[in-house]
């Protein structure tokens, strides 16, 4: 039996003397560790199983931190972490105080660039290469980007600038046909055709021979001639080589020895190269191979079959997907758009029922927003579903194209609020701040699933401009959804109770916290007003001002940073109306919140009843 290797790796230098047999053993250990460890913590299993050999080969040939690696999104960085001295802590991945689920500059000197959103690796790596050239250094820079990243405008913009910026530069195109879900669009179809075309299969073999047989000029010329002729048939030169980037591949991304030889060859080249490798997302674990979308990122699972715990309650995303299907059954003008997230947003059910009115534009949020604008100009009813953290990318379009033109685009922001284990790159804690000052925009958040459906129904019928709704990750309160949704009055809050001592405004999924606080205050003999604001913008000014005038203190609750958040809008409203009632705010601090379980982080940052009571009682 081969000796265990992974536990002895303290730095990438430790694997440089490994034999081919050692590397095989190491790959097996890494996969076993990932499958066993993530079954308890959850995480991005599929992407990491797909880059085991690639990561080993890169760290065998190159030397970080002198050489620089960038990983697009970096959700496939677990293996990199294990090979850079963090294998002993991999069981803490995405846990509070444990390893981050993405690359993090503050976590290790080997994490040269942090990430969490797609389309960043090539641009950032190009900046590193340019800095190297300016400083007269000689290190290597390697950007690893999946084929889905090539649907990002930022990736294509970077490729356009490589040849005029630097010479020594390597892009690894990790081609597995998946991002989070199945890749879409012309570029994805092109890469797939490249994999399966018989002529190019022949060229792929010759490319491998070329690397393995660098024995002389004649062999080199022969391989190049065969490769070049094949590419002229099926590879549009404008995509890479006419942009000044030499293309090599596709080769087997699970052949460690071939990858090592290829990287050794590329180290000698003083010109930009793109190495196209073919990998399997989820390699080595059948459940992940069978369901790559599910195993892109998930919670704990059973190792034997990959089964995950199920809840009797539907998630907000599931309610959203099914609700849109129901609306579209009766409204032929309703269309749904996602940016490579049909599974995450649950628009996959819409796709099944109404495929002609479903659009997945790939990882291209800016295009998705503009595309929705175009649909709206033609009288259709577009619903654009993008996570709150990714909607930030479409900010210019929200102002310049939607709001300015008063186009009725419906922004559906999933994962609003804390996103727990995914950490600061994925927390949806900023959308109130970046939307509430946009003129004429409607923004709302439901307290439960039934109100969520009412709000979606209201959005479907609102045609005077852009509207937005934010809703959290996971399940709601379990509220029963009415058979027929209600049309809400724009800007009208729900007053649950009126009192004279305290006014509690509980927004969205923190309404339950406001209810708990009300109960505790009443037990102490205080008279309490309880309001479900519903609308972040426009505020129900009449109700809020009336109740504020009769209260001694106001407390707002929001799953958002308090800086420029909902509570800040209440303070501004009172100030503008010369009301001096003190306002206390429960929300997230003005900082990037770490990763961890939601209940741990809420208690750590005072998002709880105890904190609310202390703040309120200090004014009574």
pLDDT tens digits for range 500-537: 999 999 999 999 999 999 999 999 999 999 999 999 99
Residues belonging to the active site: 281, 365, 393
Distance CA 4, CA 568 (A): 56
Nearest to 357, CA basis, from 372, 341, 340, 377: 372
* CA gap 542, 550 in Å, rounded: 13
Residue bearing tokens 């399997």: 280
590-594-599 Cα angle (round to 5): 100
Asked if residue 588 lies in contact with residue 618, where contact means CB atoms within 8 angstroms, the answer is: no
Domain-wise residue ranges, the chain: 19-185+245-291, 316-470, 494-617
Other C-beta atoms lying within 10 Å of the C-beta of residue 483 = 5
Residues (pLDDT < 70) of the chain are 1-3, 177-238
**Under 8 Å between Cβ of 194 and 200:** yes
- Scan for tokens 């530069």, then name that residue: 169
Report the alpha-carbon distance of residue 176 to residue 144 in Å, rounded. 13
**Measuring CA to CA, which residue among 239, 241, 235 is closest to residue 271?**
241
Do 435 and 610 meet the contact criterion of CB atoms below 8 Å apart? no
pLDDT attached to residue 150? 83
For residues 159 and 171, what is the distance between their CA atoms, to the nearest angstrom?
10
The helices-and-strands tally (H runs, E runs) of the chain is 24, 17
The pTM (predicted TM-score) of the whole model is: 0.88
Domain range 316-470, its CATH number among 3.30.360.10, 3.30.1520.10, 3.80.10.10, 3.40.50.970: 3.40.50.970
**Torsional sign, CA 523, 529, 534, 538:** negative
pLDDT of residue 236: 40
| Whole-number pLDDT of residue 390 | 95
CA distance 620 to 609: 16
| Cα 583 from Cα 464, distance rounded (Å) | 33
Token code pair at residue 240: 């890479």
Looking at residue 295, its pLDDT comes to 83
- Are 19-185+245-291 and 316-470 equal in CATH topology? yes
Instruction: Locate the DSSP E strands across 111-245.
Output: 141-146, 170-175
Interatomic CA distance for residues 121 and 117, integer angstroms? 10
- Pairing of the two strands 553-561 and 535-537: unpaired
Q: What are the residues facing 385 on neighbouring strands?
A: 338, 412
CA distance linking residue 143 with residue 121, whole number of Å: 6
Between 1.10.420.10, 3.50.50.60, 3.30.70.580, 3.40.50.920, what CATH number should domain 494-617 receive?
A: 3.40.50.920
H-type helices in 472-597, by residue range? Answer: 511-523, 541-549, 566-576
For position 249, what pLDDT does the model report? 78
pLDDT of residue 298: 84
pLDDT value for 198: 46
- Residues 23-26: contacts with CB under 8 Å, at least 24 apart: 23/56, 23/60, 23/256, 23/257, 24/256, 26/56
Reply yes or no on domain 19-185+245-291 having CATH 3.40.50.970. Answer: yes
pLDDT of residue 230: 42
Three-state SS at 594? coil
Residue at token pair 């579209």: 328
pLDDT of res. 496: 98
CA distances from 51 to 70, 212, 616 (A): 14, 21, 52
**Among 262, 236, 233, CA closest to 249:** 262
Alpha-carbon dihedral angle through residues 293, 298, 302, 305, given to the nearest 10 degrees: 0
């Amino acid at each position: 039996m081969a000796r265990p290797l992974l536990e002895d790796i303290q730095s990438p230098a430790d694997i440089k003397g490994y034999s081919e047999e050692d590397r095989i053993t190491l790959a097996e250990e890494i996969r076993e560790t990932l499958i066993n460890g993530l079954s308890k913590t959850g995480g991005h299993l599929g992407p990491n199983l797909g880059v085991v050999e690639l990561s080993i080969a890169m760290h065998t040939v190159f030397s970080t931190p002198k050489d620089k690696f960038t990983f697009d999104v970096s959700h496939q960085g677990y293996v990199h972490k294990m090979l850079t001295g963090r294998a002993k802590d991999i069981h803490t991945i995405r846990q509070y105080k444990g390893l981050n689920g993405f690359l993090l500059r503050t976590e290790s000197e080997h994490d040269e660039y942090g990430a969490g959103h797609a389309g960043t690796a090539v641009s950032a790596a190009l900046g590193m290469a340019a800095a190297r050239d300016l400083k007269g250094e000689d290190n290597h820079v390697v950007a690893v980007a999946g084929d889905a990243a090539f649907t990002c405008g930022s990736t294509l913009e970077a490729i356009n600038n490589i040849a005029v910026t630097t010479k020594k530069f390597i892009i690894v195109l990790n081609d597995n046909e998946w991002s989070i879900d199945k890749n879409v669009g012309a570029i994805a179809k092109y890469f797939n055709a490249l994999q399966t075309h018989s002529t190019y299969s022949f060229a792929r073999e010759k490319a491998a021979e070329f690397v393995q047989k660098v024995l002389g000029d004649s062999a080199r010329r022969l391989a190049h001639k065969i490769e070049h002729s094949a590419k002229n048939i099926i590879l549009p030169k404008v995509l890479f080589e006419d942009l000044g980037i030499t293309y090599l591949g596709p080769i087997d991304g699970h052949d460690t020895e071939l990858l090592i030889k290829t990287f050794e060859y590329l180290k000698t080249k003083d010109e930009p190269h793109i190495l196209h490798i073919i990998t399997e997302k989820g390699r080595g674990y059948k459940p992940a191979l069978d369901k790559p979308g599910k195993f892109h990122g998930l919670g704990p699972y059973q190792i034997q079959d990959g089964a995950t715990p199920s809840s009797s309650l539907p998630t907000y995303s599931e309610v959203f997907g099914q609700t849109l299907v129901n609306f579209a059954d009766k409204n032929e003008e309703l269309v749904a758009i996602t940016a490579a997230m049909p599974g995450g947003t649950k628009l996959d059910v819409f796709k099944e029922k109404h495929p002609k009115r479903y659009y997945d534009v790939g990882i291209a949020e800016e295009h998705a927003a503009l595309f929705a604008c175009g649909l709206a100009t033609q009288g259709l009813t577009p619903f654009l579903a993008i996570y709150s953290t990714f909607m930030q990318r479409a900010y210019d379009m929200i102002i310049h194209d939607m709001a300015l033109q008063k186009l009725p685009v419906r922004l559906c922001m999933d994962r609003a609020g804390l996103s727990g284990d995914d950490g600061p790159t994925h927390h949806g804690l900023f959308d109130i701040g970046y939307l509430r000052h946009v003129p004429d925009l409607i923004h709302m958040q439901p307290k439960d699933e039934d109100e969520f459906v009412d709000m979606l129904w209201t959005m479907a019928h609102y045609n005077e401009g852009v509207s937005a709704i934010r809703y959290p990750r996971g399940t709601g309160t379990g509220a029963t959804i009415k058979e027929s949704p209600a049309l809400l009055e724009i800007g009208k809050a729900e007053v649950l109770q009126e009192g004279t001592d305290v006014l509690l405004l509980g927004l969205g999924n923190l309404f339950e916290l406001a209810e708990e606080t009300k109960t505790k205050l009443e037990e102490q003999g205080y008279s309490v007003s309880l309001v479900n604001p519903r609308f972040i913008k426009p505020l129900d000014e009449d109700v809020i001002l009336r109740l504020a005038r009769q209260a001694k203190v106001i407390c707002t609750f929001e799953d958002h940073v308090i800086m420029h958040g909902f509570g800040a809008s209440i303070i501004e409203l009172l100030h503008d109306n010369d009301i001096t009632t003190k306002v206390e705010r429960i929300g997230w601090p003005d900082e990037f919140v770490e990763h961890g379980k939601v209940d741990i982080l809420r208690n750590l940052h005072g998002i709880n009843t105890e904190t609310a009571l202390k703040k309120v009682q200090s004014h009574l």
